[in-house]
Structure 1
Amino acid sequence: MIEHCWQLSLRDWAHMLGYGGHFSTKSRHYSTTLGAMRAARARHRLDEARAHEGLPPLPPGPIARVGSWQVIGTGYRTLAEETWAETIRSA
């Protein structure tokens, strides 16, 4: 099979034959996880963006993120609510 890969100009992929895992699979005991690398990269990019805006870097620790949004209401339900809101706005 390796010989056929070479004949088909697939030399860069010949080493993958017989490997049943994903090409980016990593051992957690040998190296860091991809999730940890992603988190470190996100933190670095956030610190860069904050520095660009003249803000100090965030203190070490987890970054809180909003995972989902939901609609809790749309507009006023009654004319009385609309009138009440307009009265508060004009005060």
Structure 2
Amino acid sequence: MLGFRGQCPTKPSCYSVTLAQLRGARRDRRTEQARVHAGLLVLDPTTTPAVGHWACQRSGYSPGAGLLAADVWHRGELKRQVVAEEGP
């Protein structure tokens, strides 16, 4: 079958079940299984979930990004000092 080993993926849509429908049903079933396995709530497709609690996880730079930001600031200060010392 042109290198596809088995059923050709370009199956005509005149069949009762298309490959897209099979893939969609398989995806939905696997998603539901994963949700149940993880202990998550079953979502109702007719409603919109709302987040009732917000919490700040962290703010500011990470340690590495803080060092980079301090280096950029320090180099800027050095350039400003050089320009100020040279004058117009």
**The two structures share one fold, judged by TM-score above 0.5:** no
Which of the pair has more CA radius of gyration?
2
TM range (shorter): 0.3 to 0.5
Structure-2-length-normalised TM-score: 0.36
